[in-house]
Chains A and B, each alone.
Chain A
């Protein structure tokens, strides 16, 4: 069981890193998404894979019963998913903006920032 998960995580991470190394900004974004799912899955596996009862406190009881699953990894993953969702949405907005502002989705055509004050730039780039 763990082995299947291990392969799934490594496949996702491999694909994520591959996409991250691409020049296309959208692909980079997808790479980040894949990597973060891989991270979530990693937490899930690291928390221990078992067949157990759902972590619900029975009526009248004060604590989780014996044999209940550990709810913490799920809570961590949920937090990570929500945060990841916000960040990816923001990054997507950024990519869209970059496409409109810079007219390209390829990273090697986006070098406005590093041209500022560059010694190779005789004209001395200005902004603001």
Chain B
């Protein structure tokens, strides 16, 4: 692996993670959201896996992709429950104003999607790369 690529990949890894979080929260009222943010973040880890090794990328991710899928899905599920209690309608969202920020259970849903996408994409990407590395 070329020196330029492996050095720059560290830089891009951080930049892409920041961009992914920005995308996640931007999706609240503008184009963006959990899915696109999740793809950004997954790409960051995929880049790391490509530049260094799948092992390094797994270490950077810290948790197993399956766990990430499960936790994200569960978060999305939980975000639907308040609406079920108040309106009898799953996934009807609650909203609140904290200072000037408009947040709601939809944000939790989006974060859940974010995690599911990272987990889903990475579990496939890691498997591909490991197949090639062998």
Touch test A–B (CB under 8 Å): yes
Interface residues, chain A, with chain B CB atoms under 8 Å away: 82, 86, 89-90, 92-93, 96-97, 100
Q: How far is the CB of A80 from chain B (nearest CB, A)?
A: 14
In the complex, A89→B127 CA distance in Å?
11
Of the A-B pairs whose beta carbons lie under 8 Å apart in the complex, a sample of 6, sorted by A's number, is A86-B120, A93-B124, A93-B128, A96-B128, A96-B131, A97-B131
Interface residues, chain B, with chain A CB atoms under 8 Å away: 35, 120-121, 124, 127-128, 131
- A82's partner among B35, B124, B127 (CB-CB below 8 A) is B35
In the complex, A124→B103 CA distance in Å?
64
Cβ A100 vs Cβ B120 within 8 A: no
In the complex, A97→B130 CA distance in Å?
12
In the complex, A94→B61 CA distance in Å?
24
Chain B residue, CB-CB nearest to A82? B35
Chain B residue, CB-CB nearest to A78? B35
In the complex, A97→B131 CA distance in Å?
8
Cβ A100 vs Cβ B131 within 8 A: yes
In the complex, A86→B124 CA distance in Å?
9
Cβ A90 vs Cβ B124 within 8 A: yes
Q: Closest 10 CB pairs between A and B?
A: A89-B124, A96-B131, A93-B124, A93-B127, A93-B128, A96-B128, A86-B120, A100-B131, A90-B124, A82-B35
Contacts of B131 in A (CB 8 A): 96-97, 100
